Amino acid sequence: MDFNPIPFNVLFSLGQWFLMVAIVAVAGLALTLVLTIARNGFAGNRIFWAALSSYASDLRSLSPRRILAITNLTFKEAVRRKALYVFVVFAVLLMFAGWFISDSNERPELQVNVHITFVLTTIAWLILPAAIFLSCWGIPEDIRLRSMHTVVTKPVPRLEIVLGRMLGFGTVTAVVLAIMGVIGLLWIERVVPESVRHRLVCRVPVFGYLYFMDIEGRPRDEGINVGDTWKYRSYIQGNTQARAVWVFSNITANSVGDEGVRIESRFEAFRTMKGTEKSVREGIEAQFTLIQNPRDLAFSGLNPGASMQDFAESLRAGQFRSASDHLKKIAERVRTAPKDIPSQDFTELTNGLYQAIAILKNYDSKLIPFSEQLEKLQKATAEVSKVSEASGNAVYESIATECDSVSDFLKTNADDLQESLARLEVPLEPFGVAEFHEGDNVTLIPRKIRAIADSETLARFLATRVDEVNKSGKLVENDQFSDSAAAAFEEGEAISPLNAERLVTVLKEQIDGGIVQIVSDEADSSRKLLRVADGRRWFAFFDDLVRRDMLVSPDPEGWAMDFDLFKDLTKDGTLRIEVACLDDQMYLGMAPGDLFVHLKERPFWVGYSKAILTTGLMLLLVVVLGVTASCIVKGPVAVLFTLTIFIVGQFFQEFLQRIVGGHEPGMGMIESAAMILQHRNPQVGMDASEATLSFVKALDFISRGLLSIASNIIPNFSVFSEASLRLEKGFDVPVDSAVLPAAATFLGFLVPCVLLAGACLKFRELESK
C-alpha cells in the first residue's frame, strides 16, 4: 500500500505528445533535407520534395484489403515458425509451479500474491522474446529471401507492408496472450489454497488527502522524522496532541454501502523503549477518531508567526470572543508599531484567509457575511507586499481598521458562529500496531455509531435537547420546575434514566442559584419557560457546565450518544479521520497510502483482465518497435536495439528522469569521469583550469541534453507494470491511473513508428542484404 494512484491527465499529455512529435518530425525532415542536398548537390532539394510528395501519396492510397491480406499472411508465417511453442513451456511451468510456490506457513496475503505474481510475470516474459524475434526478423528475412520483391512489384506501397506486418505479429501476440491469460486465471483460482481464496478479490480503494497536527495541535504538512533514511512515512508522537488527519471525498451510502465504511490501514510502529510485555505482543496502541470540524478545515491554513498565533488558534478552537480580543490587540499593534510585526506574518495571514474565505462560502450560506468580512481583511493584508515609505501608514491604518471591523463582527456574532461551525468528534475503539505485524488492519465503521461524546458535542446535544423539551412546555408546570422533566428527557431513548436524573438535578441547582430563571414565553404569556438569566444561549450555558465537570455522568456508559455516519459525520461526502498514538514515548508512522476506504469489492477476473490488457499493450508496443527497427537495420541489430530500448524503458527510465531533472546527486558524466581519473571527490572538485572546467561543463550540458531527448523518445515501459503491481497487492486496477496511461503510451508511439517505418522501408534499397 505504498502507492496513491494519480489520474492520467489526457489533455496535458496530448499537448506534450503533439509538441514532441512536431519537434522530432521537423528535426528529422530538416536533417534528411540537409543530407540529401549534401549527397546530390542542388538537385537534392528537388529529390527531397519529390520523395516527400510520393510518401504523402502512399498515405492517401492505403488499401485495407491489401493490409489485411498481408496481415493474414504474416499470421500464417508466424504459426509455421512455431511461435506458439511458448504454450508448451507455459504448460510445463504451470504443471510444476504449485510444488514450489505453495507454503502453508506464508502469510495469507502472500499466498495469494505469489500465485498472481508468478502467472503475470511468466506470461509477460515468455511472450516477450517471441514477440521481439518475430517482429525483428520478419522484414529482414523477406528481404534476404527476396519474397518482398514479388509484393512491391504488384505494386503494393511499402507502408502497407509495414502495417500488415505490425497487425500480423500483433494478432499472433494477442491470441497467444489471450489463451495464456485464460489458462492462468483458471490455474490461479484452482491452485490458491481454500483457506485464503476469499482474498482473491479486487479491493476498490479511495485514497484521501493527508496532513498532520504537531504536538501542540497546529496543522503541518509533515510529521516527525525519526531518523529513517527512507522518508516515505512521517511519524506522530504518542500521548500528545499530534495527529495524522485523512480527508476523504465522495463517501456516501451509495458509494460505500448502507452498512457503513470499511477502512484499511497499515501503519509503522517506532519505539523509543521496549515497553511492557503486553505492548510488545499486541503492539503500540492507536485510535481512530471521526471528526466533523469545519473550523479546522477553514482555519487550518492560518499559520502566522507568534504575533498572530493566538488569534489563529482561537478561531480553530471556536473561541470567537477570545479571537475578537486577540484581533483588537493586533489592530492596536499595527497602528502603533507595525514594523515590529514581520512581513512574513502578514503574508501567511493573507494566504490562510484566502483558504478560509473559500471554505466558509461553500460550507454554509449563513457564513457568507463572515467570509465577506475576512475578505476585506485579506485584501488589506495583501497590500503589505507593496508598502513603500509614502504609502506605509495608509496601508497599516487600513489593516488596523479591517481588524477592528472583523473583531467587532466576531464579538457580535460569536454565538451564531459557534452554532454554524459546530465540531463533532467520535472516537472508535483503540487497536494495536505491532512492529512486525501480519496482514492489514481492517476496521468496519458502522453507519449507526454509539460513542461517548466529547465536551463540545455533549454541550450541543444537551442544549438542543433541553431547548426542544423546554419549547414543548414540559419543563415548567404551575410556575415550578416540572417533576416529570426527567421522563421528558428520556423520551425516544435520547438520554438514559441516570443521565436524565443528573441533568434534572443540575438544572434545579442552577434555578436555585438564580443562573436559570422561569419566565413567561414572549409569544404566549400564559406559558412558562426556562431561560438563562444573563441571556446566554443554551449551548454557551451547557458548555460552561461541561467544562466545569458539573455534568459528570452517573451512568456506567457515560454520556453515550448515537450518531449516523453519513448524516452527522460527513458533509457533502467528505469524511475526516484522525489517527492518534496513545502510548507515551512511542511513535506511529504513516504515509498517504497507509489508510484508505474500501468501496464495494469487484471480482478478481475484472482486475486480472485489466492487468492482461496492459501486458498486451506492452507486447504490442514491442512488436511495433521491432518492426520499425527491422525497416532500418538487419535482424540481429534490430533485436539488440529493441531489447535495449525495452530494458532502458523498463528499468532505467525513472533514473534518466532524475538525471535530467537534476534530482540525482553527483556531477556530470564527463566531470565525474575526470575526477575518478584524478582520484578526487565532489567536495574537492576537479583539478583543472577555469577554461578546462568550463569546457567540461559545456560537454556535460550537451550530454544532459542528449539524455533529455532520449528520456522523451524512449517509451516508459514501467507504466505497463502498474496494473500488475496493484493486482498483486489485492487491489482493482484503476482505469484512469493504470490502463489509460498504458493505452496512451502505446498509441503515442504507434503513429510515429508507423510513419517512420514506412518512410525508411520506402527509401531502403531492397537489394542490400
Q: Which residue has the higher pLDDT, 91 or 408?
A: 408
Position 312 scores a pLDDT of: 84
pLDDT band, residue 87 (cuts 50/70/90) = low
pLDDT at position 714 is 87
A 10 A CB-CB count for 753 gives 21
> Could you tell me which residues come within 8 angstroms of residue 61 by beta carbon, excluding any fewer than 6 positions away?
157
Which cell numbers hold the place of 205? 480503494
**Cell numbers of 537, please?**
444561549
| Residue 381 · residue 349 · CB < 8 Å | yes
| Nearest alpha carbon to residue 414 among 546, 510, 317, 330 | 317
The average pLDDT across 316-326 equals 88
Is pLDDT above 70 for 259?
yes
CB atoms within 10 A of CB 253: 16
pLDDT tens by residue, 497-514: 888 888 888 888 888 888
Please give the DSSP secondary-structure letter assigned to residue 453.
P
Closest CA to 185 of 88, 274, 99, 118: 118
What pLDDT is attached to residue 151?
Answer: 61
Peptide bond preceding 155: is omega within 30 degrees of 0, i.e. cis?
A: yes
Can you tell me which residue has the cell 520534395?
Answer: 49
On whether the CB atoms of residues 252 and 564 are closer than 8 A, the answer is no
> Do residues 312 and 302 make contact, with C-beta atoms less than 8 angstroms apart?
yes
Q: Is residue 624 scored above 90 in pLDDT?
A: yes
d(CA 334, CA 354): 20
In this predicted structure, the answer to whether residue 760 has a pLDDT above a threshold of 80 is yes
Is residue 619 over pLDDT 90? Answer: yes
Q: Which pairs count as long-range contacts for 213-216, CB under 8 Å and 24+ apart, including other chains?
A: 213/241, 213/242, 213/243, 213/244, 213/245, 213/578, 214/241, 214/242, 215/240, 215/241, 215/242, 216/241
The three cell numbers of residue 60 are: 492517401
State the amino acid at position 551 in one-letter form: L
CA distance 585 to 582: 9
Please tell me the pTM assigned to this model: 0.75
Q: What's the mean pLDDT in 610-618? A: 94
For the beta carbon of residue 661, count every other beta carbon within 10 angstroms.
10
pLDDT interval class at 1 (50, 70, 90): very low
pLDDT tens digits for range 668-691: 778 888 888 888 877 777 777 888
| Residue 222, all three cell numbers | 509533515
Q: How far apart are CA 220 and CA 300, in angstroms?
A: 9
Distance of alpha carbon 276 from the chain centroid? 37
Q: Quick one: pLDDT at residue 608? A: 92
Give the DSSP letter string of 350-365: HHHHHHHHHHHHHH-G
Q: Is residue 353 within 8 Å of residue 378, measured between CB atoms?
A: yes
- Confidence class of residue 439 from pLDDT cuts 50, 70 and 90? low
Percent of the chain topping pLDDT 70: 90
| Mean pLDDT for all residues in the chain | 83
Query: Where exactly are the structural domains of the chain?
Result: 16-56, 62-200+600-762, 205-293+425-442+591-599, 298-422, 454-558
Rounded distance between C-alpha atoms, residue 107 and residue 301, angstroms: 43
